[in-house]
Amino acid sequence: MARIVVAGAGAIGASLAYHLASLGARDVVLADRGRVARGATSKAMGGVRQQFSTAAEVRLAQASIRFFEELGEPLFAQVGYLFLATTEQGLAELEERRELQAELGVPVERLDARFVEGLRTDDVLGAVFCATDGVADPPAVTRELVRRALRLGVEVREGTAAETLEAEVLVIACGPWSAALGAARGVDLPVRPLCRQLLETSELPQPPENLPMVLEAESGFHFRRRGHRLVLAMVDPEPRWGFEEVVDETLYDDCLERLRHRYAPAAEATIERGWAGLYDMTPDAHPILGEVADGVYAACGFSGHGFMQSPAVGRALAEEILGLSPSLDLEPYRLERFDSGAGFAETLIL
């Protein structure tokens, strides 16, 4: 069987290598210029949700959730995702998405947000909640998948550029660094790095273990619990394109104010640190999956959703590479869609 080299040992590459080996591939190398789970994966929020705005994306997320459920605690905490709307328009959009999601079998429901103790709801017009969404820790999950891949015989090469290895099949899973490797193989991958940042609060006295991921639909502000702290994120006022990973401290106050407004138990919290990481954006904010040149596959361009989609994507692409019938329809994610202008819009980029 052909030697398969997976370039990039983040969430996507680890899932792919694991699934390739579990489907019987015997000569798989997972290579990373750096170390396992130390690029964009180590910077990610770790939210895992099914509440997307297109059917293809929802199906990807549903298949991934099943995998996270099998991983279970402490790697995955199924605390749910709570979307809050504070305007009529925001509520209408939430409701429209909820209908699509519900049709596809996602257990998402309208409910009274007051079930989250300490949450301010007097300005909330409506809320939707999906109890089977949750939060995970991306590097921990990725390390676990690499452990499993190692047990199945995958060779893991850290500090090794994939292009220096002989490969009959090369998979580009380098996140924001994918375009460069694509170019080296004569493939133009429209993947651009976008700098985003996360903030972490000081310790809260007793944050509830079942605190859901809370999101404000209109502003995109959201937060989750991690240990005794909260991790906050928000879309930047101006997108910061480029490879530079810099924390913009001028955004701290606004984020903290939103948190204090929304969540009373965080009234005394401060921002203890922030870190920046890179999204690998495509023009339509959907990934590029499948063969892009002879013997070269792409698994990149996840546009901020890579970790949560990694289980299903890893499995389906592994199946396709091995000539099996993919368990998910990968057709919406082909590179060719950008030639024909057939890109479809994912409106919910957090």
Partner 1 sequence: MLRGVLAAAVTPLRDDGAALDEEAFGLYLAFLAAAGLDGILALGTTGEGILLSAAERRRAAELFLDGPLPVIVHCGAQTTAETAALAGHAAESGAAGVAVISPPYYALDDESLLAHLAAAAHACAPVPFYVYEFQARSGYAVPLPVLERLRELAPNLAGLKVSDRPLEAVEPYLLEGLDVFVGAEDLVLAGLERGSAGAVSGLASVFPEQVVALVRDRAGDVTELRRTLDRYPFQAAAKFVLGRRGVPLREDVRPPLRRLNDEEKRELDAWLESS
Where along the sequence are the contacts to partner 1 (CB under 8 A)?
9, 35-38, 42-43, 74-75, 137, 139-140, 143-144, 146-147, 150, 156, 158-159, 226-228
Q: Which two tokens stand for residue 335?
A: 């590179």
**Residue showing tokens 């948190």:** 259
CB of 35 to partner 1, least distance (A): 6
Smallest CA-to-CA distance from 141 within 91, 201, 71, 82 is with: 71
In degrees and rounded to multiples of 5, residue 125 shows phi and psi of -85, -25
CB of 323 to partner 1, least distance (A): 29
- For partner 1, the closer of residues 37 and 48 by Cβ is 37
CB of 191 to partner 1, least distance (A): 23
- For partner 1, the closer of residues 31 and 60 by Cβ is 31
CB of 194 to partner 1, least distance (A): 20
CA distance 348 to 50: 11
- For partner 1, the closer of residues 149 and 321 by Cβ is 149
CB of 76 to partner 1, least distance (A): 11
Q: Report whether the peptide linkage leading into residue 190 is cis, meaning its omega lies within 30 degrees of zero.
A: no
- For partner 1, the closer of residues 144 and 245 by Cβ is 144
In degrees and rounded to multiples of 5, residue 205 shows phi and psi of -55, -55
CB of 348 to partner 1, least distance (A): 25
- For partner 1, the closer of residues 36 and 106 by Cβ is 36
For residue 25, the SS3 value is coil
CB of 179 to partner 1, least distance (A): 24
CA distance 245 to 200: 17
- For partner 1, the closer of residues 226 and 261 by Cβ is 226
Q: Tell me the angle at which helices 55-71 and 306-321 cross, rounded to the nearest 10 degrees.
A: 90
Residue 319's CB: how many other CB atoms inside 10 A?
A: 18
- For partner 1, the closer of residues 74 and 205 by Cβ is 74
Residue 24's CB: how many other CB atoms inside 10 A?
A: 11
CA distance 175 to 144: 19
Smallest CA-to-CA distance from 270 within 259, 281, 262 is with: 259
For residue 133, the SS3 value is coil
